């Protein structure tokens, strides 16, 4: 199952990429599971996506909780808490 | 509903006058956010920003009698005293306009995907902004029925 993953602001800088397409292994079916999957890459991924870090997620351009389910073709975005206005 | 995410500056007076052309409008309340002290760069999530702002305005329209609304948020390089954001709400009476304007601004601060970066680094989200948005879900939240018109 392929999904598009985007990273913004400090997260994009820490990870050194603005986004990628990922073919998810079986069992990675939620936003939280995707975050764990990415964290398992180690290095900057482990640090930036650590459980202690406040990371928000959007699924198809709507903010969602970590339990949100993924399907093929989804656009998932990870970013720090927003600071506009 | 007029939503714009843009690099260019805006004319708040012209935007407010445009909202008051409808003779049903008796009140236009507005908020302008301005860059304070240090310059910054504003990043956003282009595919999501417009959608998030529309959702916030729709929510406000469900709570108050809003006749029309304009939200403009700038991105890119901004320097001290530059305008960042405009929220202007038109309604028949001031209670709805004041409350909806404040609600939209509070939710924009916590739900719309914008991030500020200053020379010293990325600006951290503030707990007080979450608290400001949170208060609209409590019993004490201002609603037209609790406010004098």
Residue B143 has what pLDDT? 61
pLDDT value of position B149: 44
pLDDT band at B144 (very low <50, low <70, confident <90, very high): low
Work out the pLDDT band at B137, boundaries 50, 70, 90: confident
Q: What's B76's DSSP letter?
A: E
Residue B50's closest CA among B68, B33, B75, B28? Answer: B75
Please name the member of B48, B51, B115 whose beta carbon is closest to the beta carbon of A83.
B115
- C-alpha torsion A19→A20→A25→A30, nearest 10: 30
**CB-based contact, A18 to chain B, within 8 Å:** no
| A8 interface with B at CB cutoff 8 Å | yes
Strand segments (E) across chain B: 2-6, 27-34, 40-44, 68-74, 76-78, 83-91, 114-118, 121-122
Helices (H) and strands (E) in chain A, counts: 3, 5
Q: What is the mean predicted confidence (pLDDT) over B29-56? A: 96
Q: What is the pLDDT of residue B62?
A: 97
Q: Which of B108, B121, B122 sits opposite A85 (nearest CB)?
A: B108
Residue B48 CA to its chain's centroid (Å):
16
What is the predicted pLDDT for the residue at B139?
Answer: 58
Do B115 and A77 count as a contact with CB atoms less than 8 A apart? no
Q: What share of chain A is helix, strand, coil (3-state, %, to 5)?
A: 25, 30, 45
Range of A2-6, B136-140, B144-148 with top mean pLDDT: A2-6
Residues forming beta bridges with residue B4, ordered by sequence position = B72
Query: pLDDT-based confidence at B127, cuts 50/70/90?
Result: confident
Nearest to B115 among A61, A62, A80 (CB): A80
Q: What average pLDDT does range B137-145 have in this prediction?
A: 62
What average pLDDT does the structure give for chain A?
A: 97
Best of B115, B116, B129, B134 to disrupt the A interface (most A CBs within 10 Å) is B115
Tell whether the model's pLDDT for residue B59 goes beyond 60: yes
What percentage of chain A has pLDDT greater than the value 90? 100
Taking CA–CA distances from B116, the nearest residue in chain A reads: A83
What average pLDDT is seen over chain B? 93
Rounded mean pLDDT of B104-122? 96
- Our CA angle for B23, B54, B114, nearest 5°, is 125
Average pLDDT over residues B17-43: 97
CA dist., res. A64 & res. A34, Å (int): 13
Tokens of B143: 């609603």
**Residues of chain B positioned with their CB less than 8 A from the CB of A5:** none
Q: Across residues A35-58, what is the average pLDDT?
A: 96
**For residue B13, what are its two tokens?**
């007076």
CA–CA gap between residue A16 and residue B49 (Å, rounded): 22
Return the percentage of chain B with pLDDT > 70, whole number. 93
**A28 inside 8 A of chain B by CB:** no
Global confidence as pTM: 0.91
Q: How far apart are CA B32 and CA B20, in angstroms?
A: 17
Q: Is A79 on the interface with B (CB under 8 A)?
A: yes
Contact B45 A54 (CB under 8 A): no
Is residue A22 over pLDDT 80?
A: yes
- Pair A77, A11: CB distance under 8 Å: no
From A10, A58, A75, residue closest to B113, measured CB to CB: A58
Distance (Å) from the C-alpha of residue B24 to the closest C-alpha of chain A?
A: 29
- Is residue B139 within 8 Å of B146, Cβ to Cβ? no
Percent of chain B with pLDDT over 90: 84
**Least Cα separation, residue B23 to chain A (angstroms):** 30
Nearest-CA distance A80 → chain B (Å): 8
């Amino acid at each position: 199952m392929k999904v598009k993953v985007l990273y913004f602001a400090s997260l994009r800088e820490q990870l050194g990429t603005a986004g990628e397409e990922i073919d998810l292994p079986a069992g990675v079916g939620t936003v939280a599971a995707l975050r764990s999957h990415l964290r398992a890459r180690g290095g900057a991924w482990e640090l930036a996506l650590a459980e202690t870090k406040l990371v928000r997620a959007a699924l198809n351009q709507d903010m969602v909780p970590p339990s949100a389910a993924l399907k093929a073709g989804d656009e998932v975005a990870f970013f720090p808490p927003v600071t506009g206005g | 509903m007029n939503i714009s995410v843009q690099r260019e500056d805006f004319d708040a007076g012209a935007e407010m006058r445009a909202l008051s052309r409808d003779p049903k409008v008796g009140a236009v309340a507005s908020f302008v956010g301005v860059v304070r002290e240090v310059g910054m760069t504003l990043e956003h999530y282009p595919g999501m920003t417009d959608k998030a702002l529309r959702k916030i305005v729709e929510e406000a329209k469900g709570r108050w009698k809003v006749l029309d609304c304009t939200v403009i948020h700038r991105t890119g390089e901004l320097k001290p005293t530059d305008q960042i954001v405009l929220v202007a709400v038109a309604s028949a009476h001031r209670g709805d306009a004041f409350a909806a304007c404040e609600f939209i601004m509070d939710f924009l601060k916590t739900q719309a995907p914008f991030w500020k970066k200053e020379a010293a680094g990325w600006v951290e989200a503030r707990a007080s902004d979450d608290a400001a948005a949170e208060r609209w879900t409590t019993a004490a939240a201002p609603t037209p029925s609790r406010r004098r018109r």
